[in-house]
Structure 1
Amino acid sequence: MFGSLLGGFMTEYFHPSYSFLLYSLFGLVVMLLGFNLDPEAEEDVTAAEDEKGRKRAFLEEVRHNLSQIRGAIKLPEVYQTLVFFLLVGLVEPSFGDFWYYFQLNVIKFTKFQYAMFGVLGYASLSLGTLYYNLYLKEHEVRTLLKWACYMGVVGSLLSLFFVLRWNLACGISDIFCIVFTDIVLGTLGLAYSQLPTMVLFAKITPSSIEATFFAFLTGTLNFSNTVMRPLVGSMLNDYFVGVTAEDLSQFYVLCLVSMATSLIPFTFLHLVPLKEEIKQWQEGREKVQEQ
């Protein structure tokens, strides 16, 4: 939240070079603090690991972790989940970069206003967490993700409504539209999608490799959301639409594409395992190991 406030102020009133300079100084501060870490604390950790017999050479540790990950991927609850999120990244493109230019170049929001929308997004994190803990944590993850897909369709419709400027025709201001979507859809998106996904990852992570495999699952999810979806969106735009930062007249076409593709995940939502399915698979493997 503090970063959004500072970033909005810097980009609004200072040359970008000064913003990058300040950003680099934070990295320098972290490095200097690292030099001041207590060496004895590191030695204590190393000694404790030696006592438990878990110290390995770096390459051996990497090979060991990769071997465990390969074995875990073969589990049905794991590979079905991975396939689901990779398919989402492949068939549901993201056009977030174009939204930035649309809000600044067409709507004429200032950079500081744009940063404040990010602050609202952080506020929605608290609301989404509270809502999930109060009302949703006992529900099936597949059910919550289905509702998240419904909200994705609604969000795409609202985006098209906003891009075509129909909100002004209805007497609804741009600021109200952005604030409403950031708070309401941001809160619901966290409660129905992000938190249930983390819970699902915790349930399907095999024992003895919890940290390694949970990091692998979250890394795959981030790869799908932050690499695959923007990449597919950029390719679709480059080859078929041609929207640029200077010419956003066809941006509504990308919104139509987003609305159409938001329906596709419904076709493979069954890949997300249910609680009972996960329990049966895990109990079955335990019985086999006992025999």
Structure 2
Amino acid sequence: MARENITHVLSVLRLNTTDETTFAPYRHHFIDVDDVDDENLLEHFPAAIKFIQAGLDTGGGVLVHCAMGKSRSATICLAYLLHQQPGALTPQSALALLRECRPLCEPNDGFMEQLVLYHEMGCPEDVTGQPAYQRWLYRREVEESVACGRAPEMKSVRFEDEQPLSPQQEVDRAVEIKCRKCRRKLATTPFIVPHELGKNSAKSQTSMDCAHIFLHPLTWMRPSLFPSSPEDGSEDAPLSGRLTCPNSACGANIGKFAWQGMQCSCGGWVVPAIGLAKARVDMANQVNMARGAPAALGIRLPPGMRSSESNNPGSGRGNL
């Protein structure tokens, strides 16, 4: 330790003792986690990265350890590398780099998934406030509930339309979904969940061929998702069921949900799955004046109102 100029020690494991005298000569940061797939190590990334950087900034060395130096400590080191070079490294390339000096490094699958999510979020200074992180937590809650044979509690479900939309989401509302029977608006682009086609799907097939449009949970779905416990619980909430139009005068069957997930007609799996049947809804592409060029509407001005520049067919002028 002295030879390597270690001044800071980062312990990533459940210690059998709380005796800090062992670490008395060093600055010590402790992360109490197990090496299991469902452990939330992601929430500790920012604090661990700051601790490592503080040690390096003072000119010292930082020892990051767990029990075997294979999974937990490797994950923290990878998070640090990603934070330092988010544009140059990916979780996979960072792992390859780490293995050049320690070949046995192998984070468990759950930790690798968390590293991928961290990288996709842009390696932020704070992860808990990120919508992607909150959505990930909600899905974990769903998985744990389904594993116990029950639906998640309503308080743990993230209803996306109750969350503030990002500026990009506010602008990007190109697709509008309505009930085919009563025309009640059900969702717009930010609430649509994309999914991968099944491995056995034809290469030419696209998501437009899917029989369902999958959505994030929305507030109008509450009576369908939690029919017997609208206020605070979900003991009797079904694992799967039908979605009905929120218009009380309509009440049409417009889709189905399955917390345990379901297979789309394209062969891909969606978990959890909340799907509107395309045969029961209409999808319209809305022209967004904040983004689209006026020419997108394709409406010609009357001849007397056209400028001379409108004779250029590629200019788009002379259109509304």
TM range (shorter): under 0.3
From the two aligned structures, give the one with the greater helix fraction: 1
Normalising by structure 2, we get a TM-score of 0.24
State the TM-score, normalizing by the size of structure 1.
0.26
